[in-house]
Chains A and B, each alone.
Chain A
Amino acid sequence: MYGHVEIRTLFFASYKELLGTGELQVDLPEGATVSDLVSALRSRGGAFTALPTEPAVAVNLTYTDPTSLLSDGDEVALIPPVAGG
């Protein structure tokens, strides 16, 4: 699988609700960034287009900015703000 990275993408709270799933494996070209992952998800259409362009993201349990490079096997969590009290 030269030239590709496999990303384990996790969705929490309202994103999980919106997309109807808590987890997706996403295949991206090598050199892809967090922002590329979000674009790839949004381009799936349907409910995915409702994801924000810059959601809060943690890569391997560390909060990360959109320009960060992704590596094969990374776990990326998309974290929505939650307001309920």
Chain B
Amino acid sequence: MVERETPQLDSAELSRYARHLSLPEVGKEGQLRLKEARVLVVGAGGLGSPLALYLAAAGIGTLGLVDFDEVDATNLQRQILHGTKDVGRKKLDSARERLADVNPNVSVVTHDVRLDSSNALEILGSYDVVADGTDNFPTRYLVNDACVLLGKPNVYGSVFRWEGQASVFASDGGPCYRCLFREPPPPGLVPNCAEGGVLGVLPGIIGSIQALEVIKLLLGQGNTLSGRLLIFDALEMNWREIAVTRNTSCPVCGDEPTQTALIDYEDFCGLKAPSKGKEQGMEDSIGEVGAVELKERLSSAEPPFLLDVRQPHEWDIVNLETDGAVMIPLAELQDRLDELPTDREIVVYCRTGARSQSAALLLADKGFSSVFNFVGGIHAWVDEIDPSLPKY
């Protein structure tokens, strides 16, 4: 076995970390702990940006990043790890470059994969602390369960429009994400950042809280958010703190866990592809249509009824009204079924196809016999049919 070299701080580091070294809670010993630490940031987006930037600046020795996405112009309003020149590049390339400039002492390890049940334990396993900055439910449940199984603290943050949540899970006998949210929400009820919007500063605040909690966990200083869920309302500038204890009957972290391995999280969150069929084969009763085929059908002698289930402010940005689209937001659909034709095909669309999938399922459930989901939504329409329309 190779003897692990006792890390030291050279004169440049002593100078770089001078304001930490002056803090009695950090000092030289604490700074060396940070240097020895391995932290994994899942997602190099809105939360991942302040997380990675502050953790690198703080001198975390090994900083892992998981992401497989590319920088998009719509990311720049909040993802301050990436710049205008990075649009179109891999987020990991852009992040590596930026972090090397922030602190060249940090060893940045990039994992260019979509985290899933087949790779999560191996990737998370080599880190001391995991910070969850993902943007979807399947990955959140996956990261939670993997952290519980591995016994790694999961520093959690998430954002929606003007609201944020933060906590520390699977740490020090405290609860996990599943103790709090046993079941994922039905797909479509909770929109993601792209569909719901998010104020750019908000992930900056929540991600910074996550970075702070990571550092406290590593230093063993202060009180962490374990057992507390912070809820931040940025519009009202109001913080709420909810006390949460570990649920002894939690399926993953309870006294007698019923789930002792990772599962299929897409399936758990009800996001399996329609053709796979989930409950009562209901997905089989809705069809799928792509942009090109939809365009053809709309110009046929018997065009389908085109239903837009987005929000009015999204409709105002771009819509298919000239092709006959009618808007009924998803939340109102259940109460406005009488506005839909029963003798025509119905094609449902939204921004990218997720909400329209829920809407199509709802319609099929309510007895509409010929319902199609426009896969890819208005995004696909802009890409494939009319690039002059705005994409948001």
Contacts and interface: CB of A to CB of B under 8 A. Distances in A.
Interface of A: 12-14, 17-18, 45-47, 49-50, 52, 54, 56, 58, 61-63, 77, 79-85
Contact of B181 (A12, A81, A85): A81
Nearest to A85: B135
A82 B132 CA distance: 12
Contacts of B164: 82
Contacts, number: 110
Interface string B186-200: 100111110010100
B331 A85 contact: no
Interface of B: 43, 45-48, 132-137, 140, 157-161, 163-165, 180-186, 189-193, 196, 198, 203, 229, 231, 233, 240-245, 331-332, 334-335
Contact of A18 (B46, B181, B182, B189): B189
Contacts of A83: 134-137, 140, 158, 160, 190, 192
- Per DSSP, chain B at the interface is mixed
Given A47-B332, A79-B231, A80-B185, 8 more contacts: A14-B160, A14-B191, A46-B335, A47-B331, A63-B242, A63-B244, A85-B48, A85-B133
B147 to A, nearest CB: 16
A80 B190 contact: yes
A50 B183 contact: no
Nearest to B195: A84
Contact of A85 (B157, B182, B191, B241): B157
Contact of B245 (A13, A54, A63): A63
Count chain A CB atoms within 10 A of each CB in B161, B233, B241, B242 and give the residue with the most.
Answer: B242
Contact of B160 (A13, A54, A61, A62): A13
A14 B181 contact: no
Nearest to B47: A85
A84 B46 contact: yes
A84 B139 CA distance: 11
B243 A82 contact: no
B43 A85 contact: yes
24 contacts: A12-B163, A14-B160, A14-B189, A17-B331, A50-B334, A56-B182, A58-B242, A61-B242, A63-B243, A77-B231, A79-B229, A80-B190, A82-B158, A82-B160, A82-B163, A83-B134, A84-B46, A84-B198, A84-B203, A85-B43, A85-B46, A85-B48, A85-B193, A85-B203
- Per DSSP, chain A at the interface is mixed
Contacts of A17: 161, 196, 331
A72 to B, nearest CB: 21
Given A12-B231, A61-B240, A84 B193 contact: yes
B225 to A, nearest CB: 13
B335 A14 contact: no
A41 B261 CA distance: 36
Contacts of A47: 331-332, 334-335
Nearest to A75: B240
Contacts of B196: 14, 17, 84
Contacts of B48: 85
A84 B135 contact: yes
Nearest to B139: A83
Given A49-B334, A50-B334, A84-B193, A79 B185 contact: no
Contacts of A52: 183, 185-186
A1 to B, nearest CB: 28
Contacts of A14: 160, 185, 189-191, 196
A46 B183 CA distance: 22
Contacts of A85: 43, 45-48, 132-135, 157-159, 193, 203
Given A84-B46, A85-B133, A13 B229 contact: no
A77 B242 contact: yes
A43 B42 CA distance: 40
A45 B43 CA distance: 38
B243 A62 contact: yes
